[in-house]
Amino acid sequence: MGSQVDDTIVAISTPVGEAAIGIVRMSGKDSLKIADKVFKGKDGVLPSKFKSHTVRYGWIVKSNQLPATRNRKNRETEYRASSIEHRNIIDEVLLTVMRAPKTYTKENIVEISCHGGAVALRKILELILECGVKLAEPGEFTKRAFLNGRIDLAKAEAVLDIIRAKTDTALKLGIEQLSGGLSERIRNLRRRLIDVLANIEADIDFCDEDIETGSRRNLLNEINGIIKQLDIIISDAGRASFLREGIKVTICGRPNVGKSSLLNALLKKERAIVTPIAGTTRDIIEEFVNIGGLGIRLVDTAGMVKPKDLIEHRAIRLAKDSIALSDIVLLVFDASQKLAKRDYQLIRELKGKDVIAVLNKIDLPKRIEEYKIKKEFKAVVLISSLKQTNLDKLEDKIKSFVYKGKVVSGYGLITANARHIEEIKQARCLLDEAKSSYIDKASLEFVALDLKIALDCLGRITGETVDDAILDKIFSEFCIGK
């Protein structure tokens, strides 16, 4: 990143667009001095004299001189009139002062809460930049929180997970990581690994002495214990990714059973084109929906038929690919029709998948052999997409598949992102190699080297052993102002 840690930085910390409030955030040693130049409070007190974590009302002005006033009682009125006359006021604001080290970055922070229009925010930002402050890069406030020791790297990345969370469950997982769930586990494993490495290096230093069998066994048991804990984290993270990134639910069935109508009904908006003509959907449609706090990636597919042309052939292949990668499949039947040959084929093809059988169009006279469906699938829901009947029951069934372990339970999971998992897997591989070398009585230097590299891998998760390139990559994914 371009800015140095001792620079004072500024950024707009609220989204672009019209809003009631917008926030311009400054962090760094000169934040209070800059605030003195641009903020004029009702009582005339400079921000550098404010108590920490207090908010004051005033104006952001182009001039750094308060207009003269003859009467303290009428100071606000005369100040406004004089400022308007000289066109100095940019906006009416609330200014918050937070003094180091009890701030997000452990530096002095000033936040200006102004009106949320684009022009007001831009003009305030430009004024502060003119005072010599540097524009913050993406994620630079959080990067400073890490570099100044307020949070470790895993917690810093959790901030991004929280910002990106689309569901209650994803938010809870992000908060769990921010509170230190993963960090504490990794730090504990590093401490155990350091003890193992210390014992190995002691054996190297005293190589002329025989190593006791009991000590050898204890070291192997400790390495195996660390490997087991890493496996648990890998397993938890893989399952948690479903909840963070969304459970993939594919809607499939033969043509004209109401798949697209079901998609629209669950989304509560018209996303897919619905007509009485079979085969209207010729492509994959994917949308995100929040069902009871769960992120669901709903996928509508083309009707499963014997393809007649190249387009249908590709549509069917995409549908099958989506089904293969799904966590849950909604197999839709037309309840107003008897089971067709293609229905039976789909039932056979989906054996072994997590399937909820959806009997649609119950608003019409029912002709389907319901008992045959229930014989094949334990989860069966009767609905009418058109009349919005029993959609709540279908949503409950989807949630039950998740929380009762059919897909994954979110309780007690240790979350980790793709970067963490790669480091953990590499550390685990190195521990396996170290263990094999130790059992084969290879040179202890090789064992120690594998253990050291594994230690570095775990350290890169919390930031104890991390280089600038990794930091730049991580924080570049953040929005500016966070």
What average pLDDT does range 228-257 have in this prediction? 81
Whether 1 is covered by a domain: the verdict is no
pLDDT band at residue 16, thresholds of 50, 70 and 90? Answer: confident
Matching residue, tokens 């997590």: 354
Residue 354 lies in a domain: yes
Decide if pLDDT at 274 tops 60. Answer: no
Is the model's pLDDT at 471 over the cut of 70?
A: yes
Claim to verify: residue 198 and residue 252 sit in the same structural domain: no
pLDDT of residue 72: 47
User: What confidence tens digit (pLDDT) does each residue in 160-186 have?
Assistant: 888 877 777 777 778 877 888 888 999
Give residue-wise pLDDT tens across range 104-139: 999 999 999 999 888 999 999 999 999 999 999 999
- The domain total for the chain is 3
Residue 277: per-residue pLDDT: 44
Picking from 116, 150, 184, the residue at the C-terminal end of a domain is: 150
- Does 199 share its domain with 166? yes
Contacts (Cβ under 8 Å, ≥6 apart) of 273: 260, 280, 281
Tokens found for residue 261: 């109508």
- The confidence score (pLDDT) of residue 134 equals 94
Question: Is 189 inside a domain boundary?
Answer: yes
Q: Are 475 and 143 in contact (CB under 8 A)?
A: yes
Angle at 11 between CA 46 and CA 179, to 5 degrees: 100
Residue range(s) defining the domain that contains residue 170: 159-241+415-475
42 pLDDT tier (thresholds 50, 70, 90)? confident
pLDDT for 182 = 86
pLDDT of residue 107: 95
More confident residue, 44 or 208: 44
Among 150, 175, 201, the domain-final residue is 150
pLDDT band at residue 301 using 50, 70 and 90 as cut-offs = confident
Do 294 and 381 lie in one domain? The reply is yes
Residue 110's pLDDT is 96
CA count, 13 A, side-chain hemisphere, 429? 7
Tell me which of 286 and 115 has the higher pLDDT. 115
Assess whether 94 and 25 both reside in one domain. yes
pTM of this structure: 0.68
pLDDT digits (tens, 9 = 90+) for 55-76: 999 999 986 544 444 444 454 4
- Confidence bin at 30 (pLDDT 50/70/90): very high
| pLDDT band (50, 70, 90) for residue 311 | low
Looking at residue 66, its pLDDT comes to 43
Tell me the pLDDT band of 390, cut-offs 50, 70 and 90: very high
237 and 268 belong to one structural domain: no
At residue 208 the predicted structure's pLDDT band, cuts being 50, 70 and 90, is: low
Residues 231 and 376 in one domain: no
CATH label of the domain that carries residue 100: 3.30.1360.120
| Contact partners, residue 375, CB within 8 Å, separation at least 6 | none
Indicate whether 278 pLDDT > 50: no
- Confidence band (pLDDT; 50, 70, 90) for 237? confident
* DSSP collapsed to 3 states, the chain: CCCCCCCCEEEECCCCCCCCEEEEEEECCCHHHHHHHHEEECCCCCHHHCCCCEEEEEEEECCCCCCCCCCHHHHHHHHHHHHHHCCCEEEEEEEEEECCCCCCCCCCEEEEEEECCHHHHHHHHHHHHHCCCEECCCCHHHHHHHHCCCCCHHHHHHHHHHHHCCCHHHHHHHHHHHCCHHHHHHHHHHHHHHHHHHHHHHHHHCCCCCCCHHHHHHHHHHHHHHHHHHHHHHHHHHHHHHHHHCEEEEEECCCCCCHHHHHHHHHCCCCCCCCCCCCCCCCCEEEEEEECCEEEEEEECCCCCCCCCHHHHHHHHHHHHHHHCCCEEEEEEECCCCCCHHHHHHHHHCCCCCEEEEEECCCCCCCCCHHHHHHHCCCEEECECCCCECHHHHHHHHHHHHHCCCCCCCCCCCCCCHHHHHHHHHHHHHHHHHHHHHHCCCCHHHHHHHHHHHHHHHHHHHCCCCCHHHHHHHHCCCCCCC
pLDDT at 267 over 60: yes
Considering the domain boundaries, does residue 3 fall inside one?
no
Span 184-196, pLDDT tens digits:
999 999 999 999 9
Q: What CA–CA distance (Å, rounded) separates 331 from 327?
A: 13
Is 4 part of a structural domain of the chain? no
Query: Based on the domain organization, do 373 and 265 belong to the same domain?
Result: yes
Q: Are residues 181 and 237 in the same domain?
A: yes
Residue 481 lies in a domain: no
